[in-house]
Amino acid sequence: MSEISDVTSVQAQEQETSPDEMWHRFIRLVIRGRWWLLGSTCGVTFATIAVLLALPNRYTSEATLLVVQQQVPERYVTPTTTTDLVSALDAMTQEVLSRSRLLAIMDTYNLYTTERQRLAPEEVIALMRQNIDIQPLDVNPAHRDFTALKISFTTSEAHVAQEVASRLTSLFIQENVKTREDQASTTTNFLRAELETAKSKLDQQEQRLRDFKMSSLGELPEQQQENVQVLVGLQTQLQNTMTSLNRAQQQRLYLESLVRDDLTRLMAERKTLLATITEKHPRVVKIDQEIANKQALLENPRQHTSGVSTPPAPGAMPGDGQEGEPVDPLKSQFEANRLEIESLSKDEQQLKADISRCEQRLSLTPVREQQLSGILRDYNLLKQNYADLLSREQQSQLAMSLEKQEEGQHFRLVDPPSLPAIPSSPKRLKISLGGVAAGLFLGLAIAFLLEMRDHSLRTEKEVSRYFALPLILGIPAIELPFKARRRAWRRAFECLAGSVLIIAVAAAEFYVYRRG
């Protein structure tokens, strides 16, 4: 039993596959399947090269546009365009690659004639858009801008690719200038319209303010101090007038006391005269007339001081004390006092009315102040809004002038569209080398499949794997001389044929390399 286990362990160790053995088995696999390797490699390579030679060359012309920032500092002229460059580029790309413009370019340069006969216009436009590449360079994702722009176009003719790339470059430059000018012009027109509206509202508010001040003249807050001074002056005048009126009234009382004293004297004199003469005596009549005048003067001084002469008493003779009789001084004093009292009374009434109006204006001043503050607040807001719009409109006009002079942000052509000398596609050398690799892989796959289907035993280890008993002896192969010569000729033929195939593949690859 121990001997059998030793034999089994030895066989298991022999059956273990080492890396060297795997490498040798791979080399034997390559040697046995060498013709499959050479055949598949040559076949796939030649087929790939034949297909590549049938494909037309495609040339790509590239141009580079540099993004030039605004030349004038922003502290002098603020740009009206706030759109970031990435968004602006997307908008310009949609405009430049629009259906109408691409169809115009196709008609101008006679592009896609074959495709336009069998495809719909939308499909041809999509095909042209695939051949146009617009790539921003040095993109800054944080600020969504870039420093340069690369534009390329690919077609089957080199000079056509250059001309179309030049046309696209010009369109992008023009569209950028036009877009910025349109944005500046739109902003200016909008601000101008808003400025007109703000000016109209400001004029209406100014008219409202003027109307309010005219309707509230004398009641405005800025006139309050003046009204106070006027009121103080009127009150002072009223006090003086009332003092003068009191003095005039006291004078009237004094004059009335004098008239009463004269009346008492005349009554006593009349009484004395009646003791000796009758009532019809001229002297009594005269005294009666004086008494009547005195009484009338006391009762109604205005009527008897109007300057109308008193008619003579009935029965009185002309010349009996009527003609040339001196005017009573008390009458003139009464008249002067009456006129003074009337004048002072009128002044008093007028001053009281003026004081009442002034006090009314002062009482309305807080109300007018509140109303005026609301009107002034709206007026100041409209005025500030108008000033802001005016400043922005002037800035927008400067920005528009800047864009028209191309001093703002614009594209500058730093690398004109090139005339390609080497086709950009197809990449024949890379594809042909890929064909060589694909042929080798296919040959190895075929050789491996054939090896898997071959159950021949060629080494002692292979025999040991299939038989549990140990190998006791081996018989070497005995080869006859004519078979050795045949094998030598066959190996020489194989080396020659393999060399020819390898040289053919290398020559084909060199031809592909030279053709580009």
Based on the domain organization, do 248 and 236 belong to the same domain? yes
Are 36 and 73 within one domain? no
Q: Is residue 409 within 8 Å of 59, Cβ to Cβ?
A: no
Which pLDDT score is estimated for 346?
92
On whether the CB atoms of residues 198 and 378 are closer than 8 A, the answer is no
Give the predicted TM-score (pTM) of the model: 0.50
Do residues 322 and 366 share a domain? yes
> Does residue 369 belong to any structural domain of this protein?
yes
Q: What is the model's pLDDT at position 149? A: 86
Residue 286's SS3 state is: helix
Tell whether 46 and 100 lie within a shared domain.
Answer: no
Beta strands 59-68 and 132-137 are: unpaired
- Asked if residue 78 and residue 112 are part of one domain, the reply reads yes
Same domain, 227 and 365: yes
- Determine contact, residues 149/99, Cβ cutoff 8 Å: no
Q: Determine, yes or no, domain membership for 515.
A: no
Range of the domain at 227: 223-384
The pLDDT of residue 6: 46
Residues 249 and 141 in one domain: no
pLDDT at 148: 82
Mark whether 410 and 437 lie in a shared domain: no
pLDDT by residue for the chain (516 residues), tens digit each? Answer: 444 444 444 444 444 556 776 776 667 667 776 777 777 878 888 788 777 776 677 888 888 888 766 544 444 445 555 566 777 788 888 888 888 889 999 988 888 888 888 888 889 999 999 999 988 887 676 656 667 888 899 888 888 888 999 998 888 888 877 777 777 777 778 888 888 888 898 899 889 888 888 887 877 888 888 888 888 898 899 899 899 889 988 988 888 888 888 888 888 888 888 888 888 888 888 888 888 887 887 776 554 444 444 444 444 444 444 444 455 677 788 788 888 888 989 988 998 898 888 888 888 888 888 888 888 898 899 889 988 888 887 777 766 665 555 554 567 777 888 888 777 767 766 777 777 788 778 777 877 787 777 666 566 666 666 666 566 656 666 666 776 777 777 777 767 777 777 787 777 777 767 766
In a domain, 49, yes or no: yes
Q: Are residues 253 and 346 located together in one domain of the fold?
A: yes
- Residues 168 and 153: beta-carbon distance below 8 Å: yes
Structural domain total, the chain? 3
In this structure, the answer to whether residues 71 and 167 fall within a common structural domain is yes
Q: Identify any residues that bridge with 58 across adjacent strands, giving them in sequence order.
A: 425
Q: Are 224 and 365 in contact (CB under 8 A)?
A: yes
Does residue 51 sit in the same domain as residue 63? no
